Amino acid sequence: MFENMDFSKMGEMLQKAQENAQKMQEESANKEFTSKSGGGLIKVTGNGIGEIIDIDIDDSLLEDKESLQILIISAVNDVNKMIEEDRKLAASSMLGGLGAFTGK
């Protein structure tokens, strides 16, 4: 497993990984993901660190509490899935970059 690992570069590799993680976190905070439900009657926007930053509700839904709740839940769940997928892709690309230190 460690046949091709150049241990003399371990410190450099860890430093690079920390820098990449910090950069990834900063970039995630600036990303926005938006989901719509109910044909666009509900729009939920979240950032890359998992915070919901905006919810837009069409006025026509204000009289139908049950539909409003269902559509908000759906849109929030969709945004959370988008954020999670983005995190997985970012982590995968960060880990893929560590192969540069194995001497391959």
pLDDT digits (tens, 9 = 90+) for 36-80: 999 999 999 999 989 999 999 999 999 999 999 999 999 999 999
- Residue 77's nearest CA partner among 38, 32, 36, 31 is 36
Domain ranges of the chain: 29-97
29-97 — its CATH code? 3.30.1310.10
User: Rounded to whole angstroms, how far apart are CA atoms 36 and 18?
Assistant: 35
Mean pLDDT of the chain: 85
Q: What is the pLDDT of residues 3-38, one digit of tens each?
A: 666 666 778 878 887 887 788 778 888 899 999 999
Strand order of the β-sheet with 32-37 is 32-37, 42-47, 52-57
Per DSSP, 50 falls in state S
Mean pLDDT of 90-97: 75
pLDDT at 11: 80
pLDDT at 19: 83
User: Rounded to whole angstroms, how far apart are CA atoms 22 and 4?
Assistant: 27
User: Rounded to whole angstroms, how far apart are CA atoms 31 and 29?
Assistant: 6
Taking each continuous run of H as one helix and of E as one strand, the counts in the chain are: 2, 3
Per DSSP, 32 falls in state E
